[in-house]
Amino acid sequence: MKSMRERLLASSMICGAALLGLSATQASAQEVSEVVVTGSRIPQPNLTSASPVTVVGAADIATRGITRTEDLVNQLPQVFAAQGSSYANGATGTATVDLRALGANRTLVLIDGRRLQPGTPAAGATNTAPDLNFIPAALVERVEVVTGGASAVYGADAVAGVVNFIMQKNFEGVRLDAQYSGYQHTNENDRIQDLLRRRGSTALNPAAFAIPEKDVWDGGVTDLNLVVGINSPDDRGNITAYVGYRNVQAVTQNNRDYSACTLARSTSDPSGFTCSGSGTTSPARFISGGGGGDNDVTIDPAAPGGRGFRDYVGSRDAFNFAPYNYYQRPDTRYTMGAFANYEFNEHAEFYAQLMFMDDHTAAQIAPSGIFGQNMNINCEGNPFLTAAMAEAFCAPTIDQLPDDANFPNTIGVNTDADPITPGQQASVAVLRRNAEGGGRVSDLRHTDYRGVLGMRGEIGSGFMYDVFAQYGVVEYQNIYFNDFSLSRAAKAMDVVVDPATGLPACRSAVPSLAGNNVDAACRPYDIFSIAGPSQASIDYLQTPGFQNGTYEQTVVSGSITGDLGQYGVKAPWAADGVGIAVGTEYRRERLKLNTDIAYQTGDLAGQGGATLPSEGAYDLYELFGEARIPLVQDQPFFQNLSMELGYRWSDYSLGFSTDTYKIAGDWSPNSDLRFRASYNRAVRAPNIVELFSTANVVLNGSIDPCEGTTPDATFEQCARTGVTAAQYGNIAANSAEQYNGQTGGNPDLDPETSDTYSVGVVLTPTFMPGFSLSVDWFNISLKDRIGQIGQDVTLERCLETGDSFYCGLIQRAPGTGSLWLSQNGYIVDTTFNTGKLEVEGVDVEANYRFDFGDFGMTSGLDQFGGLSFNFQGSYLDKYAVTTLPGDEPYDCAGYYGGTCTSSGTPASAPMPEWRHKLRATWRTPWDFELSTTWRYVSSVKSDRFVFDEAATETWRDDKLTDKNYFDIAGTWAVRENMTLRFGVNNVFDNEPPLVSQSNCPSGPCNGNTYPQTYDALGRYLFVGIRADF
């Protein structure tokens, strides 16, 4: 059927309506629809828009075998990795997109030109970016990516640009689509395997360092989709419905040799690394004096009965958590929905969209346990301690309760009911993994709903209207399994001999000793022998945590678009008139997060601190207008000269209003050459998470230069961070190379301001039909950036300068001076208005398409079809971060690490200076197409060189070499209604670049690499079939 939408598109083409979308939020969608009429694919939008636009079309989707929607856009050079399937520690269960590495919360995601609701209300989520899991990849017709600023058109949160998913609609018939895919890898990294052998030979549990099978096939993905469409009897309407199912199998890190153990730097080993791990171990580790004493010991398996101590040595005793951590999360997703429209007459077309998703995933990391919290150890008559073991904790030179003022052990211990005297009990920092209980698992479920109802049509000569209402909601649930209760651990570690039975018992379980605080369920936790604790004590200590919440978004919008040329409003030298769009929009967003008592009290050992409920909402009222003004057309040297203007006024219920505007122009002296330029001003208000999320202490810093027996920093420097003379050289080192940071929102945030400039040139030479080239320079300057300073930046600035602001954010644990042993030590890294961020670079796109017969070939080659080439590249020249006004900026372009890839910037991926993708497709005359793609990522250096220009390359991961990946794919029309697709990505099974723990920030770095940036799992093979009936 020919809908009114198509007729409007044809009319808009006649009147030059690059602007004349059905609403301000649909302008880009209409422009791209016009492009479909002209038959162009990726390059054409970029050749006809004043702002740089790239499109991922059906051919790109088919040749990549994509089932995860984030992979549709992550392949583009302008896109940097964000939350996705390879996140384990810090996973929210969502998939997000980040344009220009400005943070996913500065990229606006649309479905058919309308907003997609925020992705999750999860505690710990750093932003409210939409969840791309909601969008079924098999239903995506194409993806438009506007990489210039688009805030005046879509709203101020489109600072970096817009990603617009255009869905298949007006479908008639039945379509079945099925695909299976997975990974194959050959484990043959001899140097890493040698590390595993040597480390396993000294480990108490050699199986933890087992070398994986040589040939592995895993990570299978099943994707099934059904689409059914029917037209109305009068051919004026259509309903297209879909249902989808996707199942993803988990991959753990021990299935790849290069991720089978956590890596630390080494200059002596040929691999450049050693196997490291976590200082929270199994068997247990103990540090006397509440973590500040002289004895740092672990269980000695050679002691009589396996009950005794030996000195803790990190290279021998550190815990390898790789066998537990997911490299790819398991996931089960169900989607369904329907798109409908019916044209009553030329003045009224009803349309509706209903979409649903239920996504269930699990994020597994290393086992929980006791992570350096101070515990109350009974020194006299403790049935689990030999005399020598008790002496390590309870000798007169060791601090004991109640003399140790640093001892914070009020959890589960009532000192009034149980008065103690010096020598009876000692404060001991306990580090013990619950290896018997298995990994910690975040069982994450997101259930999303989205509904759109609207009406559009003509309201007069050259004018149209569009009015719609939209509601989206995310229902979130997280059950955290296999964590430990700190309050119960305090009881289970305080062990005595029950006078009634003569057996070991918790003090709290003995009525004569517990006073009014009897806990008959308590079971003593014996971690003082190689045999390990009883299952009963593990069952007592293990406890789940529970969160749930909702995020709601309501939008009501109306707009009028028109061509004033029909009323004589046009420039004297232009054939087309002025196009306008005006409208208004109302939006409400509301977040509510609930947490159970275990989260609220901070009782979960593996969570780092308390997570409190949070709630917030705001309303937004907006007015917007746009104009496209043709100035000169069809004149010598001025085939076209036009200008675009845009303005949006936004009034927030938070107490402020903002102004966003743009000006753009394009000039075509002839049909071969076109110049374009634009300027966009955006003022982005803080979102609900940035405003209202509660504070939480988490492990997300890298290395504390003041820890260990030989600190990297001098005493003078460490004293600036709060280290005393007695603590210097005595702060326990974390072999996992992490420390605590306190994150959270800030209700006093102000809006941030950004200015985006772009200048470009487009070549479409008439002497070379089918060829096009575009080159665009961009500069984005973000002021008063809403974000975090970054723990590593704060620590480095305090060490080097002694600046009171930075040093005041460092809270070392009293007594021990540690930033990781307990929740009392951390660096404040909550959200506030920081300094400036400036990003600058150049994008390049080129396309060439021809048939062999175009060149007059008569030797038979003209019978072999044709070739198509597509090239997309992006050069990052600058990524300059000014932490606070007046500070010297540091440039992260070409770098990666704990500062540039995590805490110090909004990015969560390495920042190579150059990335590109080149695809060549052979279109045969035999219903078969074959494509090959070359993907390239340039080298990056460790961000330690950002702050120390005189440093020399010492470590293996000081520089990650460039990476080349090659993909092959094919499609075959088996029958008229049936198409087979197949392919292999990363044909040569290239391994990812490996990094040490010190350059591996928790979250974006997983399995000793950055799996959202590099192909971490090996070859990706897929086969799929589509049948239409």
Query: Considering only CA atoms, which of 785, 778, 789 is closest in space to residue 754?
Result: 785
- Give me the sign of the Cα torsion angle 314, 316, 317, 319: positive
What residues form DSSP beta bridges with 741? Answer: 698, 827
pLDDT for 151 beyond 50? yes
pLDDT for 916 beyond 60? yes
Domain range for 361: 4-187+218-251+328-365+444-480+547-685+751-785+836-882+906-988+1004-1028
Q: How far apart are CA 1026 and CA 423, in angstroms?
A: 76
Determine, yes or no, domain membership for 640: yes
pLDDT, residue 413, reads: 32
- Of 118-132, 454-468, 486-500, the poorest mean pLDDT is in 118-132
The secondary structure of 206-233 as a DSSP string is GGGGPPPPSEEEEEEEEEEEEEEEEE-T
pLDDT, residue 566, reads: 87
Element (H or E) spanning 84, and its range? none
Would you tell me how many other CB atoms lie within 10 Å of the CB of residue 653? 11
pLDDT, residue 501, reads: 93
* Size (the chain), residues: 1029
Determine, yes or no, domain membership for 888: no
pLDDT for 858 beyond 60? no
The secondary structure of 860-903 as a DSSP string is SGGGS-EEEEEEEEEEEEEEEEESSTTSPPEE-TTEESTIIIII
Q: Look at phi and psi of residue 342 and say left if phi exceeds 0, alpha if psi is from -120 to 50, else beta.
A: beta
CB-based contacts of 856, cutoff 8 Å, min separation 6? none
pLDDT for 822 beyond 80? no
- Of 79-88, 285-294, 352-361, 972-981, the poorest mean pLDDT is in 285-294
pLDDT, residue 859, reads: 62
Greater pLDDT, 872 or 1:
872
Greater pLDDT, 271 or 843:
843
Residues 39 and 102 both lie in one domain = yes
Determine, yes or no, domain membership for 865: yes
- What mean pLDDT comes out for the span 856-882? 86
Confidence of residue 57 (pLDDT cuts 50, 70, 90): confident
Residues 104 and 169 both lie in one domain = yes
Query: Considering only CA atoms, which of 755, 773, 756 is closest in space to residue 764?
Result: 773
- What mean pLDDT comes out for the span 804-813? 92
Q: How far apart are CA 99 and CA 148, in angstroms?
A: 10
pLDDT, residue 345, reads: 94
Residues 460 and 583 both lie in one domain = yes
Q: How far apart are CA 81 and CA 84, in angstroms?
A: 8
Residues 67 and 33 both lie in one domain = yes
Query: Considering only CA atoms, which of 627, 645, 632 is closest in space to residue 578?
Result: 627
Query: Residue 836 has which token pair?
Result: 């400036």
Query: Considering only CA atoms, which of 768, 1001, 789, 778 is closest in space to residue 895?
Result: 1001
The pLDDT tens digits for 479-505 are: 999 999 999 999 999 999 999 999 999
Q: How many separate domains does the chain show?
A: 2
Q: How far apart are CA 882 and CA 104, in angstroms?
A: 20
Residues 493 and 627 both lie in one domain = no
Confidence of residue 27 (pLDDT cuts 50, 70, 90): very low
Confidence of residue 35 (pLDDT cuts 50, 70, 90): very low
Task: Report pTM.
Answer: 0.88
Per the CB < 8 A criterion, the answer to whether 904 and 864 are in contact is: no
pLDDT for 12 beyond 60? no
Greater pLDDT, 423 or 293:
293
- What mean pLDDT comes out for the span 453-478? 94
Query: Considering only CA atoms, which of 9, 261, 257 is closest in space to residue 989?
Result: 257
Greater pLDDT, 469 or 83:
469
Q: How far apart are CA 375 and CA 408, in angstroms?
A: 9
The pLDDT tens digits for 614-639 are: 999 999 999 999 999 999 999 999 99
Query: Considering only CA atoms, which of 297, 326, 473, 266 is closest in space to residue 388?
Result: 297
Q: How far apart are CA 541 and CA 772, in angstroms?
A: 65
Residues 361 and 373 both lie in one domain = no
Burial 138-170 (b: 16+ CB within 10 A, else e): bbbebbbbbbbbbbbbbbbbbbbbbbbbbbbbb
Determine, yes or no, domain membership for 889: no
Residues 593 and 513 both lie in one domain = no
Residues 360 and 375 both lie in one domain = no
Would you tell me how many other CB atoms lie within 10 Å of the CB of residue 949? 6
Q: How far apart are CA 278 and CA 779, in angstroms?
A: 42
Per the CB < 8 A criterion, the answer to whether 763 and 815 are in contact is: no
pLDDT, residue 419, reads: 38
Residues 605 and 502 both lie in one domain = no
- What mean pLDDT comes out for the span 580-608? 93
Last residue of one domain, picked from the residues 498, 533, 568 = 533
Determine, yes or no, domain membership for 892: no
The secondary structure of 793-852 as a DSSP string is HHHHHHHHH--HHHHTTEEPPTTT--SSSSTT-EEE---EE--EEEEEEEEEEEEEEEEG
- Angle CA 840–845–851, to nearest 5: 175
* Matching residue, tokens 């040329």: 565
CB-based contacts of 474, cutoff 8 Å, min separation 6? 117, 118, 119, 120, 121, 131, 446, 447, 448, 550, 551, 552
Residues 475 and 491 both lie in one domain = no
- Of 26-40, 41-55, 812-826, the poorest mean pLDDT is in 26-40
- Angle CA 267–270–274, to nearest 5: 65
Greater pLDDT, 43 or 890:
890
- Of 36-45, 138-147, 350-359, the poorest mean pLDDT is in 36-45
Per the CB < 8 A criterion, the answer to whether 745 and 121 are in contact is: no
Q: Which range, 683-697, 859-873, 980-994, is most confident?
A: 980-994
Q: Is the peptide bond before 212 cis (omega within 30 degrees of 0)?
A: no
Q: What is the mean pLDDT of the chain?
A: 87
Residues 154 and 177 both lie in one domain = yes
The pLDDT tens digits for 317-349 are: 999 999 999 999 999 999 999 999 999 999 999
Determine, yes or no, domain membership for 996: no
The secondary structure of 90-141 as a DSSP string is T--S----EETTS-GGGEEEEETTEEPPB----TT-S---B-GGGS-GGGEE
pLDDT, residue 412, reads: 32
3-state class percentages of the chain: helix first, strand second, coil last, to nearest 5 = 20, 45, 40
Determine, yes or no, domain membership for 818: no
pLDDT for 406 beyond 60? no
At 43, which CATH number? 2.40.170.20
Query: Residue 342 has which token pair?
Result: 């019916």
- What mean pLDDT comes out for the span 644-649? 93
Confidence of residue 548 (pLDDT cuts 50, 70, 90): very high
Determine, yes or no, domain membership for 222: yes
Q: How far apart are CA 919 and CA 59, in angstroms?
A: 11
Residues 451 and 340 both lie in one domain = yes
Q: How far apart are CA 411 and CA 426, in angstroms?
A: 15
Q: How far apart are CA 697 and CA 820, in angstroms?
A: 10
The identity of residue 303, as a single letter, is A
The secondary structure of 508-519 as a DSSP string is GG-HHHHTT---
Element (H or E) spanning 51, and its range? none
- What mean pLDDT comes out for the span 508-534? 93
Query: Residue 214 has which token pair?
Result: 């040589």
